[in-house]
Structure 1
């Protein structure tokens, strides 16, 4: 590894290391800063250094594009650093959301090898539990639609739910189980995409804020930054909550709503149930109609992390809240609800807690060409599904960059691994699940 690459990776971890971002001007000492002060041109500039932006950079560099990623703070410091790393199908509504999740789930099967990194990817399944007949009806309706798409989800009685997760001792009426849902380490995934992009020739620059985007000469775009202008052929907006501000620089009005979520980390307590367990109320908070009586969207989300033995306990879905400050009232509600359903958790110590903010687009993630200018592409609005959909998002945007015409999502999904689109992917998943049975 050369000195320049080592410096970039150190920046990835520490979020800086030179005067960029402090004085607002390049320091002129190291090579990266000298380059920033000279006239530069890239095929693609990605705005935003979370898991989505790093995935886009990895796949775009893989098709031969010269890529620059600009991050106004530290790489992976936003929503990518404040989530449990769920890679789930059973939480997705049938249609576009589930189609993307299926394709991304297949990509995760080989992602560790592709990135040459341990992502702590584990297939432990997902158990959705219902506490009321109304919740059970919602779960069964959702599961029916998922089964039609080929997802191997099975309806369970209350006793069958408890057999999968013996910690469940509270009142439940039934649920559903998807054996191929998985989880990963979000920090490792973001870092691996970033390092992979660097290995493919991409440049990563933390603490470089974008101030404006202008139409440049000869059809090029000029991205104005705190360190001066940089030209490019394409801009990819992967700025998460800041995506509307970036889009407005080109006259676009993007609708992105913040949704805050809380998670507590419980101490390692020996072997525990490995299946992720979530209450149906979590899905209702995510997909259901607005409920003024429960704006915090507090619900159970149990995630056992076998690599550390700790338990991630959530969660909340606070629509319209952009604060990352931990609310003791919300944490108390999460803990009380979890202990009601899993009373044996009461004796465990809380090691730490965090709150993160997820960028949610009401119609689902905004991907690909957005607006009249074909040089501008979008990759944001994933809500709580950014980690699950990062691989397919990066790959789709890269293919759109390579295509000389508009590439619809349906066309793209039909070219994904499996040979015959979503039907073939579903067959692969069912075979995988049968092999694990």
Structure 2
């Protein structure tokens, strides 16, 4: 066994083998080692059903699936070993309007990706799959290029390709410990010796949590017993020509595909049974679990109802085995915060579907330092410390049974909630708040009047929250409101090197004067958005930085990775020490003036400045800025004083009809102002030069990403962010909707919604510059239907920013 390598991949399932294969294929030949404690595929891969579909609820997840299919189709040619790929096509059914809306969104999103997908009627499904009972179905989608692959064959084919490129496979070799040396190198200890390496990939599947513990991390991944049934030979199928399409009937929580001369029925039963929740034994390998027929009886009957031929056929084999699941069913991929050169590729419940693609994309990420596509939906850093073992246990019990549930953009499940709350949570409840969970925080989405049902109906169209959100927006426009943004990620940067370092980290210039605030995007090495950040200068050697709550772990990890080694910069996480209440609306200054022990007039406290003042008895850092486009103040304060501060503000605001405002209203108002959202407008595929924050780029200094921006400027800006006013009555764009010029698809939305102050449906999106001129008529496809739209000047609301600066 080698004692040194560039990368060590832990885990010999289909994911780990794919990562090793692609690392070597793309250039790290003879410098990659894979460690597997038993045989290849002996964890979960051996028992996978092998379905491979383009369908995914997320745009970038779909791209990973697309890459997998591309790789599997060419794998035999690339390695000389059959991978067992069959192109069968697939059908996804719907038996209710909500499901059809979900499929409509998927259809539109897949148009952006150029996929071959079409609507099918129940009668057309019957022609594609003669053994289906179509009673109760109202429609579906059909992908002719979907298929299936043999899990063992595809793994062995990639393993052969990896060995051809010099990957060393060490089977029956168990990892016993991992530590990092002072020079940054990793040492992976095994029962057959140690390996020193630059990069470690945790692709240990069922044992990934145990491997993570070796480096001091807790990851949310638990095994659940998944079952699928192979039926006995069916004569009609044996005699048929070609392959039947895979059918997913998500409303019955089942899937069915052809396997040689028979059929396989898979299911996600209501009571998913967690297996070895305290850790999978190290000696487990390719061992079937005892199937619980009583637990899956409803799904078996659902299969017979949809495919009556199953009722006349016996079981040939029932396969039950453990598969890993995370709180939302998406895997854990990418850099493992706060570590450097340690990566996750685990938590997969659909590993065969994504193995080829994720091996390709993760290998590129490791080798190049940046991902080729935005993998945030599966980034392990999307979970913070709130996602502990107990949280995960509760969440997965709910998630497994809902893996085929209709995906709604406005649904927040109740499992493992409430988790983290602001101190004023009880006051928000008393105000009849309808909560959502954001990075573990309970945050009010909106406040219906007391006495009305505090529940938002999940919907792809405008929900029952619509009128209440509109009332909140109008209230902020006319009076004053409080938005709780305690969940903001807050970081103190200090030290003699703080200013120079921040100037290197952001394309914006760090404020030169105490008390000034700067919008300061951080970019990756290609010049694309890494994150959004506001920087307030406290003094020459201290800065207060605020980023999006959901990106806390991601953003702080990026900063940690880039800290200078000389100790000249100190970084302190203040997120859980400080709260933030945002006072907004034309009466906000009047409210603040009543309770602040300082002059808050426009002449003294100008827009874009930050001051430490007493608000009541609470010493706060007050930033005169906000995310909704009205006169307003972000009031950062010690978290233990939040209730007192809240009471002071509410008492002072009583004469001005102050009220609480939720997240839905804030998002509506930020769209009207054309403010960018992280991982919507600001992702790894776009630079500031393409947006309305190009003014933050200061090319007269050196910063991460400058070379990429210079290259883009020289080559020409390929696309521009535009604001579209869409002609639609009951549904709005959500992001990843195709944008058309005539019949030509020219772009894609990044986000959308309804602007209640301007009373227009709004979509933000990227199009080529020639289509970005004000007044250009375009089309936006929403839920599978093209809607007319026109490019509008941005921002739609208060275009001269007179309200904010008043």
Give the TM-score normalised by structure 2: 0.42
Q: Please name the residue that 2:323 is paired with.
A: 358
Structure 1 residue 89, shift from structure 2 partner: 1.0
C-alpha distance after superposition, 1:181-219 (max 9, x if no partner)? 111111101111122222222222223221211113643
Q: Does 1:280 align with 2:280?
A: no
Distance 1:261 1:380 in 2: 17
Q: Does 1:342 align with 2:307?
A: yes
Q: Please name the residue that 1:431 is paired with.
A: none
Structure 1 residue 252, shift from structure 2 partner: 2.3
C-alpha distance after superposition, 1:11-52 (max 9, x if no partner)? xxxxxxxxxxxxxxxxxxxxxxxx4xxx71222111111001
Secondary structure of the structure 1 residue equivalent to 2:217: coil
Structure 1 residue 264, shift from structure 2 partner: 0.6
Q: Does 1:171 align with 2:135?
A: yes
Q: Please name the residue that 1:240 is paired with.
A: 205
Instruction: Answer whether contact 2:75 2:158 (CA < 8 A) is retained.
Output: no
Q: Does 1:215 align with 2:185?
A: no
Match of 1:101 among 65, 76, 101: 65
Instruction: Answer whether contact 2:24 2:30 (CA < 8 A) is retained.
Output: yes
Q: Please name the residue that 1:40 is paired with.
A: 3
Q: Please name the residue that 1:229 is paired with.
A: 194
Q: Does 1:381 align with 2:347?
A: yes
Q: Does 1:129 align with 2:90?
A: no
Instruction: Answer whether contact 2:12 2:39 (CA < 8 A) is retained.
Output: yes
Q: Does 1:255 align with 2:220?
A: yes
Instruction: Answer whether contact 1:48 1:240 (CA < 8 A) is retained.
Output: yes
Distance 1:177 1:313 in 2: 19
Match of 1:147 among 111, 128, 150: 111
Decide which moves more: 188-197 or 320-329: 320-329
Distance 2:97 2:184 in 1: 59
What count of residue pairs does the alignment treat as equivalent?
A: 360
Q: Please name the residue that 1:315 is paired with.
A: 267
Unmatched runs of 5 consecutive residues or more in structure 2: 277-288, 375-525, 529-683, 686-717, 719-735, 739-744, 746-806
Distance 2:125 2:47 in 1: 28
CA separation of 1:129/1:357 partners in 2, compared to 1, >3 Å: closer, same or farther? Answer: same
Secondary structure of the structure 2 residue equivalent to 1:58: helix
Distance 2:199 2:105 in 1: 42
Distance 2:226 2:187 in 1: 36
Instruction: Answer whether contact 2:54 2:146 (CA < 8 A) is retained.
Output: yes
Instruction: Answer whether contact 1:94 1:149 (CA < 8 A) is retained.
Output: no
CA separation of 1:260/1:145 partners in 2, compared to 1, >3 Å: closer, same or farther? Answer: farther
Q: Please name the residue that 1:370 is paired with.
A: 336
Unmatched runs of 5 consecutive residues or more in structure 1: 1-34, 283-298, 415-419, 428-437
Structure 1 residue 156, shift from structure 2 partner: 1.9
Q: Does 1:114 align with 2:114?
A: no
Distance 1:185 1:57 in 2: 19
Distance 2:140 2:370 in 1: 41
C-alpha distance after superposition, 1:119-171 (max 9, x if no partner)? 22111111112234444444334333333433322222221111111101252
CA separation of 1:94/1:271 partners in 2, compared to 1, >3 Å: closer, same or farther? Answer: farther
Q: Please name the residue that 1:204 is paired with.
A: 169
Q: Please name the residue that 2:37 is paired with.
A: 72
Q: Which has the higher contact order (CA 8 A, sep 6+)?
A: 1
RMSD after superposition? 2.7
CA separation of 1:250/1:85 partners in 2, compared to 1, >3 Å: closer, same or farther? Answer: same
Structure 1 residue 65, shift from structure 2 partner: 4.6
Give the TM-score normalised by structure 1: 0.75
CA separation of 1:401/1:138 partners in 2, compared to 1, >3 Å: closer, same or farther? Answer: closer
Decide which moves more: 160-169 or 359-368: 359-368
Q: Does 1:300 align with 2:259?
A: no
